[in-house]
Structure 1
Amino acid sequence: GGAAILQTDAVVCGGISEWRRIAATAASYGVVMCPHWFHDVHAPLVAATPNARYVEYFWDDQVLNFRRLIDRQLDHKNGRIVLHQTPGLGFDFDEREVAKFGKWTVIA
């Protein structure tokens, strides 16, 4: 009974699998998930999680500048996020953008 809503962040808590475990545990206690931050990761998770309700959506990349590193953004229409229609999260990392931050290699 310590929380009515969890804003767990998959990018911080240990990844998608861990986020899903947390969501399942939260569901067993009747707790709602409304993830925090990176909507490009969380929107598909919320769509696939019965006890998840809302996604924070950032209109531009001024607050969520990590979005500059991915190859395509989620869109929105009438106050709702439009999910990608491809498997997985629906985006890849843009290697040219990632390269601007040092000698990193993106493994797909």
Structure 2
Amino acid sequence: RIAKEGGLPIASGENLHTIYEFTHMIEHGAIAFPEPDVSNCGGITNWMRVAKLAYAHHLPVTTHGVHELHLHLLAAIPNPSYLEVHSFGLERFITNPPVLRAGVMTPSHAPGHGVLFDWDALAEFRING
């Protein structure tokens, strides 16, 4: 109802966990920008499933948090929109943090998700046992 009567496009989904929840919201016209969060929705495979569902409904995908990973995911789909960038990213824990210049962030060329961890910076969080 909010999407239909509010007059503004709605982005939502950062706290959804399954493709079924996204399907319900999308098929009922409740959102204009599905916003899956790879850390909440079951990982990269499920994130890509949400993006495919959104594409089938002609909707662009936006992101929530973990911009270091979402940057690569948006680059891999035909229907990207906005990349949400948090001020509390992983920059201090990775060797190749993405750089934002003039409103554009470019993914690294490192393999996989592109994030290279700085294991020395993470040492203080290591649990031995």
Instruction: Report the TM-score when normalising by structure 2.
Output: 0.68
Which residue of the partner structure matches residue 85 of structure 2? 57
CA distance in 1, matches of 2:118, 2:40: 21
Q: Which runs of 4+ in 1 moved over 6 A?
A: none
User: How many angstroms does 1:77 deviate by?
Assistant: 2.1
User: What secondary structure sits across from 2:72 in the alignment?
Assistant: helix
Bigger-Rg structure (1/2): 2
Which residue of the partner structure matches residue 14 of structure 2? none
Task: Describe the superposition over 1:8-31 as per-residue Cα deviations: whole angstroms up to 9, x where unpaired.
Answer: 111221111110011101111122
Unaligned runs of 5+ in 1: none
State yes or no: 1:8 paired with 2:27: no
User: How many angstroms does 1:65 deviate by?
Assistant: 4.6
Which residue of the partner structure matches residue 72 of structure 2? 44
Aligned-residue RMSD, C-alpha: 1.7
Q: 1:65 to 1:51 in 2, by over 3 A?
A: closer
User: What secondary structure sits across from 1:17 in the alignment?
Assistant: helix
Q: 1:56 to 1:49 in 2, by over 3 A?
A: same
Which residue of the partner structure matches residue 76 of structure 1? 100
Give the count of matched residue pairs.
Answer: 100
CA distance in 1, matches of 2:107, 2:95: 15
Say if 1:8 and 1:19, in contact at 8 Å, map to a contact too: yes
User: What secondary structure sits across from 2:100 in the alignment?
Assistant: strand
Unaligned runs of 5+ in 2: 1-28
Which residue of the partner structure matches residue 102 of structure 1? 126
User: What secondary structure sits across from 2:40 in the alignment?
Assistant: helix
CA distance in 2, matches of 1:65, 1:57: 8
Say if 2:96 and 2:108, in contact at 8 Å, map to a contact too: no
The percentage of aligned residue pairs carrying the same residue is 31
Residue 68 of structure 1 aligns with an amino acid whose one-letter code is R
Q: 1:65 to 1:101 in 2, by over 3 A?
A: farther
